[in-house]
Amino acid sequence: MKEVYEIDDLANRTLLDAGADRPARLAVFGQPIAHSASPRMHQAALDADGIAARYIRIEVPPGRVGEALGRMRDLGFIGCNITVPHKLEVMGVCDEVDPAARALGAVNTVRFDADGTRGFNTDGPGFAAAVRETLGLELRGLRVAILGAGGGAGRALAAQCVLSGVERVLLVNRTVSKLDELEKHLGALGSGSDLRLMDFSDPGLAESCRDCGLIVNASSVGLKAGDPALLPDSCFTPGQGVYDCIYQPPVTPLLAAALACGCRVANGRSMLIHQGALAYRLWFPGRDPLLTMAAALG
């Protein structure tokens, strides 16, 4: 068995399940994917429920998402989770996309049904539950800054904020023009939330961030050793909530900087658990794996 599989390992069952005592029937795929803790918590839930299946990691390069889904479907997979950078690409290759996922603008969970491949999004509601649990914050009425809003995760979190009735969403990206389509999409949701767009070099960024009750990193910056903190100390204010969707490392440069400024912080472990439990329930209706998943992550 491998720690990380590749798309070519999906050629047949003999290759995929070599050395295993049960078949791989669920997976998470993305690039990079070796860091993902999803197998640990999902496998624990499968084992606790007596389901004879493995949950694996698969490295899938951009442009081959449709091929990966096709191979998984042919091999009898139940479903899969999708992480960066594929949450937008996968929307175009599903037979059907759940209306809530369409509103959130990204897909992170796929279920292989008898009549087609269906895409869902558990990131949005998982994020709302995680922020409530770890920081004691309700999204409604809040002012939220989302860093790296141009990616699939950022789009989903921004849409969740708007659908939840936040007062303001500050969308921050390296290239503001990449947010134009997202701005139109969020505006079409018709919530009345105030939308503001900035890049990281905007001279007004610090003041705008300090005016937010919650700052969220939805980018992959902080995942690699040597990554910057994304924001200077001038962007933080004591007591502010700062949430980093990255969970490994547990304290990213952004969270370290925020802590030093007196902010309340949380990493993406809680969101991983909540979105994972929601995905599991899509594959196995009526199950509640939340406590098992939380215990498996330690």
**Residue 266 structure tokens:** 């949380």
Strand partners, 162: none
Question: Is 87 part of the annotated catalytic residue set?
Answer: yes
**Residue 246 structure tokens:** 């990255």
Pick the catalytic residue from 87, 178, 184, 224: 87
Residue 154, phi then psi, degrees to nearest 5: -60, -40
Q: Are 87 and 107 in contact (CB under 8 A)?
A: yes
- Smallest Cα–Cα separation from 27: which of 19, 65, 18, 63? 65
Residue 112, phi then psi, degrees to nearest 5: -95, 100
State the catalytic residues.
Answer: 87
